[in-house]
Structure 1
């Protein structure tokens, strides 16, 4: 299996990845094909695919914010079972994130991830890919050390229609195991920075941000 970076929508592997993403995720979570042109050219956004016998069978996107000392896993896609795709993507992503952390000269605080709540989205089928079932993914992330922030989480839809997307938790995997909360100012800065790419924010998201700005720290809860 090969771990290959995608940096252009002209890359034939990107077309495969986008088809896989569109099969796996709900439409509101998928950025339109042409709108990937600028993100893929951004050197701070890392998009990699797992290529097996010429076929894209998995993918991951992540980024590291040296100023905030945090990373974000945008998505992980496992298109088939019994190929070890999840472990392959995890090992290669972690290795690359350690490189980015070393280049920043600062130790990372941890990594954010949006985590589907299977109790609220059980109707979504996630492309018939069993490894992508929300309950499976949630337990895997729990094993890796992720916890959820104690907030009623909502995010702007990636279809750019200005809708509020629910059914997820904002998760965080702290480097320090005993860390039980995050400064709310860090959470706000991260969310404002991460969602800069979406111009139309729903009122629910703006209200969430305003609520976070009135808090001091956000507890990290088990998932």
Structure 2
């Protein structure tokens, strides 16, 4: 299996990856094909696919933010069972991120991720791919070390229609497992930067940010 970075929508592997995105994720979670042009060309956004027998069987997108020394996992897709795709993607992503942090002269502080909460919302289909079942994914991410941040989370729809997407938790995986909370400013600064590409923010998201800005720290809870 190969771990290959995609940097252009002209790359034939991108069309295969985008098709996989549409098969696995709900429509409000998938950015339109043409809107991927700039993100893929951004050196700070890292999109890699797992290629097996010339087919894209998995993918992951993540970013490293040197100013905060943290990363964000945008998504991880396992398109086929029985190939250890999840471990393959996680291991290669971890190596890449630790290398980027070292180039920044630091040890990686941790990584954010949005994680579906199937105990609140159970209508996630994920294209019928069993490894992408939200109950399975949540437990796997817990095993990796992710912890839930203690606040009610919503995010703006990637359709940029002003709708709030619910049914997810915002989580953080600290490199140092002894960390029990993180500064709220780290969360708000990151989220405002991360969603700056969307001009139409829902009121629920704005209120969430304002509430977080009134706190000093946010506790990490078991996932």
Q: Deviations over 1:165-222 (max 9, x none)?
A: 0000001001111111111111111111111111111111000000000011100000
Residue in 1 aligned with 2:136?
136
Matches within 5 A, 1:145-184: 145-184=145-184
**In the alignment, is the contact (CA less than 8 A) between 2:78 and 2:86 conserved in 1?**
yes
Partner SS, residue 61 of structure 2? strand
**In the alignment, is the contact (CA less than 8 A) between 1:66 and 1:106 conserved in 2?**
no
Residue in 2 aligned with 1:96?
96
Partner SS, residue 196 of structure 1? coil
Residue in 2 aligned with 1:53?
53
Q: Deviations over 1:83-114 (max 9, x none)?
A: 11101101111111011111111222100000
Q: Deviation above 3 Å: which 4+ runs of structure 1?
A: none
User: Residues of 1 paired with 2:161 and 2:31: CA distance?
Assistant: 11
TM-score, with structure 2 as normaliser: 0.98
The two structures, once aligned, show a CA RMSD in angstroms of 0.7
**In the alignment, is the contact (CA less than 8 A) between 2:98 and 2:107 conserved in 1?**
no
Residue in 2 aligned with 1:205?
205
Residue in 1 aligned with 2:123?
123
Q: Deviations over 1:146-182 (max 9, x none)?
A: 1000010000011121210000000100111111111
User: Residues of 2 paired with 1:41 and 1:97: CA distance?
Assistant: 18
How many residues in Structure 1 have an aligned counterpart in Structure 2? 223
Residue in 2 aligned with 1:12?
12
User: Residues of 2 paired with 1:107 and 1:213: CA distance?
Assistant: 27
Q: Does 1:84 align with 2:84?
A: yes
Partner SS, residue 195 of structure 2? helix
Partner SS, residue 153 of structure 1? coil
Matches within 5 A, 1:68-79: 68-79=68-79
TM-score, with structure 1 as normaliser: 0.98
Q: Does 1:67 align with 2:55?
A: no
User: Residues of 1 paired with 2:98 and 2:181: CA distance?
Assistant: 23
**In the alignment, is the contact (CA less than 8 A) between 1:51 and 1:58 conserved in 2?**
yes
Partner SS, residue 123 of structure 1? coil
